[in-house]
Amino acid sequence: MTAIPPILLVGLGKMGGAMLAGWRERGLAPSVAIDPMRPAAPGPEVVVVGDAAEIPAGFAPAAVVLAVKPQNAAETLPLHARFAGSAVFLSIMAGKNIAGMAGLLGAGAAIVRSMPNTPAAIGQGITVACAGPGVTAGQRALCDTLLAAIGKVAWVDDEGLIDPVTAVSGGGPAYVFLLAELLEAAAIEQGIPAELARLMARQTVSGSGALLAASTEDAAVLRRNVTSPKGTTERALAVLMEKSAWPDAISRAIAAATARSRELAG
């Protein structure tokens, strides 16, 4: 028995591939994926075709997952408008709002806009989704199942929140990776050999993330648990927590990314 009905996956890049792998683990009905590069199908239940014209006749997906680059939306989405009315469209494209997609798919299209992040590649992502007009409870539940295959899922009613979501969790992995880069570089500046500096930085970031995920305590509590009075960590945090340092920089960074998301969606 399959847990996931037939899906049309438009785009088989890293995120699309991660989603497909998760669906297969949960039991995927015979489905179709579209990718011009025609990568090898990850299993017998998936037929990979080069474009929309090659979709097998009579194929009726329950959902069309839009995993193409946002700049390709205008030419790609109209090719699948024929599924409006029978399938829900689940978009993971950044910067494309529901109204804009409806203009390409037709006013009657049921559209869910979502923003996953790259830890989806190992099933540890976080996706925030918003259902557009006309999306039924069953269609929303299906989209939740599809997104849960790559990590945790949360829903918002206000589509405008997807822009700051994009800034925080969508781009968040890049900020964490930057921290690892900076820790590594600073360790080398202090005389630590490069190989050891890299190991320390990567394991510290990944281990701290795992501890945070496993703990029910607030992040601020975990931070204070590491910070001995008048110790080395307290001295470092005195620099990082200056108003002009991390508090202001992070706030400005998220505001800038949110503004850019709104520009792209407009």
DSSP letters spanning 181-250: HHHHHHHHHTT--HHHHHHHHHHHHHHHHHHHHH--S-HHHHHHHH--TTSHHHHHHHHHTSTTTHHHHH
* pTM for the predicted model, two decimal places: 0.91
Contact between 150 and 19 (Cβ < 8 Å): yes
Q: Please, what is the Cα angle at 93 between 76 and 32, to 5 degrees?
A: 55
Query: For the stretch 91-104, what's the b/e string if a residue is b when 16 or more beta carbons lie within 10 angstroms of its beta carbon?
Result: bbbbbbbbebbbeb
Q: Where in the chain is the domain with CATH 1.10.3730.10?
A: 172-265
Total H helices, total E strands in the chain: 10, 8
Query: What pLDDT digit, counting tens, does each position of 151-184 carry?
Result: 999 999 999 999 999 999 999 999 999 999 999 9
User: If one looks up domain 7-163 in CATH, what number appears?
Assistant: 3.40.50.720
CATH architecture of 172-265: Orthogonal Bundle (1.10)
- The whole-number pLDDT of residue 45 equals 82
Residue 164 makes CB contacts below 8 A (sequence gap 6+) with: 254, 258, 261
Q: What is the DSSP-derived secondary structure letter of residue 3?
A: S
CA distance readout (Å), 178 to 172, 175, 202, 214, 239: 10, 5, 11, 23, 18
- The whole-number pLDDT of residue 28 equals 94
User: How large a percentage of the chain has pLDDT more than 90?
Assistant: 88
Q: What is the DSSP-derived secondary structure letter of residue 62?
A: S
Q: Which two tokens stand for residue 134?
A: 């006309």
Q: Which two tokens stand for residue 39?
A: 């990568």
The pLDDT of residue 94 is above 60: yes
Query: What pLDDT digit, counting tens, does each position of 223-232 carry?
Result: 999 999 999 9
Q: Where in the chain is the domain with CATH 3.40.50.720?
A: 7-163
